[in-house]
């Protein structure tokens, strides 16, 4: 076994570890990046964000073809079919291209060495790497960064080990479109894939343990989407407790109760369990260090240092929120900190997220309820996309924008959007919140017409107009 010495050992080459490694190496630091998977990019690239959105894009194109008549287009046939093998091949090609591009970028940095294999800590300053070809290397380091991501969490439901039961990662490699799909879990992944497979022709049911799907999402937007999904033919059952998954000659029965009522069941040929994710700490050798962790993740302080001095952690392995862009933001901030540069670490209050449902949901900052819980006096600027020119033109005028702002400081603290294309609006939302821009500045900004972005201006102007009317009324009736 050979021994190597580096300044930084980074375990995990996903959206947290890879940008961190590149930032440190670009500054001339000696870095070793170890990735256990098939390439750089982590779960997001190979088993999450990217492949699921490739499926969604195919579903979106299919839906557009089916709705082409309302745009004055007469297709030779309305009987559009899905070539699932071609969808999977397109996914494989994109993932390969992105993985190769990431490896090429890291290869441009002379002080960055990328190793594919498993890595386990031996003590607080050394680790052993077993490469994919069986070679073992002992690495001594000055500092380590843990960025091993997360893995699907499967609750102990009887029958969950059946071959027809998939998790959020394995479903992305399924070799056919299910005829009857039962999804256990009504979070973002369950909602996204439920709508995708419904568009592809599956009969879809969603069983959710809570009182509504998408629990953390603004309740008004979540309820609106749930009704939309129901109208589209997706069977959604809430307040469910799944008891067992039972094999039958026809497929599998999913047995469940609703709020302690009589046992019910749904028959399916495929079951998808999307019941959350857990930090991936198995095999890291944390027990040989002072790094503390629990089911929620590795414990870190304000600068992302663990309870073992000199060992840091970023991304999913530290717990919620679990987003690729959050891991990247943490990693880049940590890199600056480790290089002695001034930096403000990201805060959840300025984080953004997109649920790629149909229509999409965009989330930035605080909800109205969260803002009130934080002690803020807030008001909501609203805009209904039914009146929006661009949304009408696109045939996607079903949606709502809510801008949450503090009535004392006037700054925007939250933006929540339900509309197809919401994801492309979240960059502006992020800037509004991060910069603390007042609602009056939003109203004064000139946005192009006709675009979805002018909804920000319209919402701000609407609420300011209402405030002016209330002020005038109060002045007339003191």
State the catalytic residues. 449
Find the angle CA(87)-CA(90)-CA(95) to the nearest 5 degrees.
125
In DSSP terms, which residues pair with 380 in a beta bridge?
404
- Could you tell me the two tokens for 270? 């495929």
Is residue 415 within 8 Å of 435, Cβ to Cβ? no
Nearest Cα residue to 398 out of 460, 352, 452: 452
- Could you tell me the two tokens for 31? 């870095």
- Three-state DSSP class for residue 186: coil
In DSSP terms, which residues pair with 264 in a beta bridge?
256
304 to 123, 127, 168, 285, 345: CA distances (angstroms): 19, 20, 28, 19, 9
Is residue 357 within 8 Å of 191, Cβ to Cβ? yes
Q: Is the peptide bond before 450 cis (omega within 30 degrees of 0)?
A: yes
Sheet holding 361-365, edge to edge: 352-355, 361-365, 412-418, 400-406, 378-384
How long is the chain? 478
161 to 83, 95, 271, 450: CA distances (angstroms): 29, 28, 11, 51
Is residue 371 within 8 Å of 387, Cβ to Cβ? no
Sheet holding 235-237, edge to edge: 165-167, 270-273, 180-184, 203-207, 235-237
Nearest Cα residue to 112 out of 43, 3, 35: 35
Nearest Cα residue to 347 out of 362, 361, 365: 365
């Amino acid at each position: 076994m050979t021994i190597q010495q580096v300044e930084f050992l980074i375990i995990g080459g996903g959206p947290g570890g890879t940008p961190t490694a590149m930032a440190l190496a670009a500054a001339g630091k000696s870095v070793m990046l170890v990735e256990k998977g098939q390439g750089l990019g982590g779960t997001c690239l190979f088993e999450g964000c990217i492949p699921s959105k490739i499926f969604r894009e195919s579903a979106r194109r299919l839906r557009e073809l089916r709705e082409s008549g309302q745009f004055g287009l007469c297709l030779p046939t309305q009987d559009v079919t899905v070539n699932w093998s071609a969808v999977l091949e397109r996914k494989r090609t994109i993932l390969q291209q992105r993985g190769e591009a990431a490896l090429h970028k890291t290869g441009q940095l002379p002080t960055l060495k990328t190793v594919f294999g498993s890595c386990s800590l031996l003590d607080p300053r050394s680790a052993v790497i077993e490469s994919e070809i069986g070679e073992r290397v002992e690495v001594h380091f000055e500092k380590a960064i843990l960025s091993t991501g997360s893995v699907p969490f499967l609750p102990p439901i009887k029958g969950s080990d059946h071959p027809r039961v998939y998790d959020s990662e394995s479903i992305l490699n399924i070799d056919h479109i299910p005829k009857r799909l039962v999804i256990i879990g009504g979070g973002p992944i369950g909602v996204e894939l439920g709508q995708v497979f419904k568009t592809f022709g599956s009969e879809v049911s969603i069983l959710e343990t809570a009182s509504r799907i998408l629990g953390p999402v603004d309740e008004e937007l979540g309820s609106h989407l749930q009704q939309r999904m129901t109208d589209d033919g997706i069977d959604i059952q809430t307040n469910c407790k799944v008891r067992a998954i039972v094999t039958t000659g026809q497929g599998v029965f999913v047995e469940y109760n609703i709020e302690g009522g009589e046992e019910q069941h749904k028959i399916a040929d495929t079951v998808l369990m999307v019941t959350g994710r857990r930090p991936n700490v198995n095999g890291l050798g944390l027990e040989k260090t002072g790094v503390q962790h629990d089911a929620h993740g590795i414990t870190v302080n304000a600068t992302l240092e663990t309870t073992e001095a000199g060992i840091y952690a970023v991304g999913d392995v530290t717990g919620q929120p679990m987003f690729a862009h959050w891991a990247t933001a943490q990693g880049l901030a940590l890199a600056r900190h480790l290089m002695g540069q001034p930096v403000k670490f990201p805060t959840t209050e300025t984080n953004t997220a997109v649920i790629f449902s149909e229509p999409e949901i965009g989330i930035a900052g605080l909800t109205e309820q969260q803002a009130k819980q934080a002690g803020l006096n807030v008001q909501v600027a609203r805009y209904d996309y039914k009146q929006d020119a661009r949304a009408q033109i696109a045939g996607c005028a079903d949606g709502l924008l809510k801008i949450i702002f503090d009535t004392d400081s006037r700054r925007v603290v939250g933006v929540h959007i339900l509309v197809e294309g919401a994801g492309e609006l979240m960059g502006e939302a992020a800037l509004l919140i991060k910069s603390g821009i007042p609602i009056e500045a939003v109203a004064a900004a000139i946005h192009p017409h006709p675009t979805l972005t002018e909804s920000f201006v319209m919402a701000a102007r609407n609420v300011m107009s209402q405030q002016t009317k209330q002020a005038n009324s109060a002045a007339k009736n003191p």
